[in-house]
Amino acid sequence: MHPIKISGIGQTAFGELWDKSLSDLCQEAVEKALADAKIGIEDIDQVFVGNMLGGETSQQSHLGALIADLFGLSIPSVRIEGACASGGLAVYHAVQSLLSGQSKTVLVLGVEKMTDFCAEKIGSLLMQAAAEEERTAEATFPSLYALMAQAHMAEFGTSREQLALASVLAHHNALQNPLAQFQKKITVSDVLASASVADPLRLLDCSPITDGAAALILQKRDHTPVDNEACIIAQTCATDRLGLAERKTITGLKATQQSSQKIFAAANIKPNQVDIAEIHDCFSIAAIMAVEDIGFCQKGTGGQYIEDIVTGKKNSLSLNPSGGLKACGHPVGATGVKQIAEVALQLQGRAADRQQKNLKYGLTHNVGGTGATCTMHLLTNSLKDFHSR
């Protein structure tokens, strides 16, 4: 595909932002992205909003029109929803819009306002993303991912400590991210001592409930050489059964595996060429499955792979430098957009204290539900081989 340039990036703080409404979050992220791109709102010709729960948590759906309203726009503006993959899907369809020629400069906004509700109510609303039989059985996302963790531990010997290390890594990385929800170092002992949520998952295995927004300005990349650029060079999306009971295995996500195979084939690179990745670590077990399903390591070795990163035995891949969903926070519709924002900032060399070195290829991995939707984006700052088709 024709490379798509990240022209502007804006992000609010992620956290419990009780003084900010859904509209406030939208406005802040968009204004930051426009300023970053050094363009005005009048330069935008289409808007894509990734959001899951605006109707339920803020009594506001029709978020495409809300953004038009906030900024006085009259252009096409739409909400894209695919549960926790809403943000990545918004980028996916924004890119298709650019490739179609029906737009030249698009704004993608991911946003979620979640903390005004008690966690139990939010947990129930999030189950709208799951299968009916899971919802009516009163399963929750922690309980569903706990089943995957149990299966993974039984089949591959993944240890309880390895699960904890995924959270330790996330919190370690978030220390350098001023926009992250948690700026707090944790240890394996902290994770193991935290309250049990759904065995074997404990509180510190779970990503939090978060308010936040992230915005991107996207354009087709032209032939003018630019320093420190970041471009999307491939994108994929795959789906799977909604419910775990309908899948052949629950020790991995088929949608991630398929999305991954396709994206590396499309970009003609191998997983081990990826220098930096933002993966969907909604739970510690999700991070372990993701590194396997993406192809960073063999199936069953994800626990060891993450352990090796934490202990410094493996430094080739920078994993979730933002802090991931676990520590940067997980405002559902914003997450997929933030992942691309983070990878782009890193590739552009603008990631401040958490800047990683020697980067060429970056990957984002955004999952909806327990893996019924997966969307991935591959970015690079090195387009030597680029020729427009």
Active site residues: 84, 330
Does residue 61 touch its own copies according to CB under 8 A? yes
CB of 286 to its own copies, least distance (A): 16
> With respect to its own copies, which residue has the nearer C-beta, 99 or 203?
99
Q: Kindly state whether residue 337 participates in binding its own copies, applying the rule CB under 8 A.
A: no
- Report yes or no: 31 and 92 within 8 Å, Cβ to Cβ: no
Among 53, 163, 290, 376, binds its own copies (CB under 8 A): 53
Q: Give the residue with the Cβ less far from its own copies, 6 or 44.
A: 44
List 140, 158, 210, 375, residue binding its own copies (CB under 8 A)? 375
Helix ranges (DSSP H) in 201-331: 254-267, 284-294, 302-310
Minimum Å gap between C-beta 258 and its own copies is: 6
On the 0-12 / 13-18 / 19+ scale of CB atoms within 10 A, 151 is middle
Q: Which is nearer to its own copies, 61 or 194 (CB)?
A: 61
Binding its own copies (rule: CB under 8 A), the pick from 1, 39, 175, 188 is 1
Q: Is 110 in the site for its own copies (CB under 8 A)?
A: no
Q: Does 125 bind its own copies (CB under 8 A)?
A: yes
Question: Which positions from 219 through 278 interact with its own copies, judged by CB under 8 A?
Answer: 236-243, 246, 254-255, 258
Cα separation values, 326 from 72, 92, 101, 247, Å:
36, 23, 37, 26
Rounded Cα distance between 260 and 48, Å, is 24
User: Residue 316 has which token pair?
Assistant: 């080739």
Nearer to its own copies, 238 or 282 (CB): 238
Report the phi/psi class of residue 118: left, alpha or beta, with left for phi > 0 and alpha for psi in -120 to 50.
Answer: beta
Give whichever of 74 and 311 is closer to its own copies, judged by the CB atom: 74
CB of 381 to its own copies, least distance (A): 23
Q: Which residues contact 330 (CB under 8 A, 6 or more apart)?
A: 84, 207, 208, 209, 210, 282
Q: Does 364 bind its own copies (CB under 8 A)?
A: no
Q: Angle, nearest 10°, between helix axes 284-294 and 254-267?
A: 40
Which residues pair with residue 358 across a beta bridge?
A: none
368 binds its own copies (CB under 8 A): yes
What φ, ψ does residue 105 adopt, rounded to 5°?
A: -140, 115
How many residues appear in the chain?
389
CB of 69 to its own copies, least distance (A): 4
- In the list 39, 41, 68, 175, the residue contacting its own copies (rule: CB under 8 A) is 68
Cβ nearer to its own copies, comparing 73 with 359: 73
CB of 164 closer than 8 Å to CB of 172: no
Q: Is 148 in the site for its own copies (CB under 8 A)?
A: no
DSSP 12: P
How far is it, in rounded angstroms, from Cα 107 to Cα 95? Answer: 10
Q: Is 93 in the site for its own copies (CB under 8 A)?
A: yes
Residue 203 beta carbon to its own copies: minimum distance, rounded to whole angstroms = 25
Please list, in sequence order, all residues whose beta carbon lies within 8 angstroms of the beta carbon of residue 58, skipping any fewer than 6 positions away: 21, 22, 113, 116
- Which of the 8 DSSP states describes residue 43? G
159 near its own copies, rule: CB under 8 A: no
Q: Whose Cβ is closer to its own copies: residue 96's or residue 183's?
A: 96
The answer to the question of residue 42 lying near its own copies (CB under 8 A) is: no
Task: Please state, in angstroms and rounded to a whole number, the distance separating the CA atoms of residues 352 and 368.
Answer: 30
Complex with its own copies: residue 93 or 326, whichever CB lies closer? 93
Least spacing, CB of residue 357 vs its own copies, in Å: 33
Q: Does 123 bind its own copies (CB under 8 A)?
A: no
* Token pair belonging to 378: 């591959």
H/E segment holding residue 169: helix 160-174
Question: Per CB under 8 A, does 39 bind its own copies?
Answer: no
Residue 289 CB neighbour total at 10 angstroms = 30
Interacting residues toward its own copies by CB under 8 A? 1, 23, 52-56, 59-66, 68-69, 73-83, 89, 92-93, 95-102, 125, 127-132, 135, 236-243, 246, 254-255, 258, 368-369, 372-373, 375
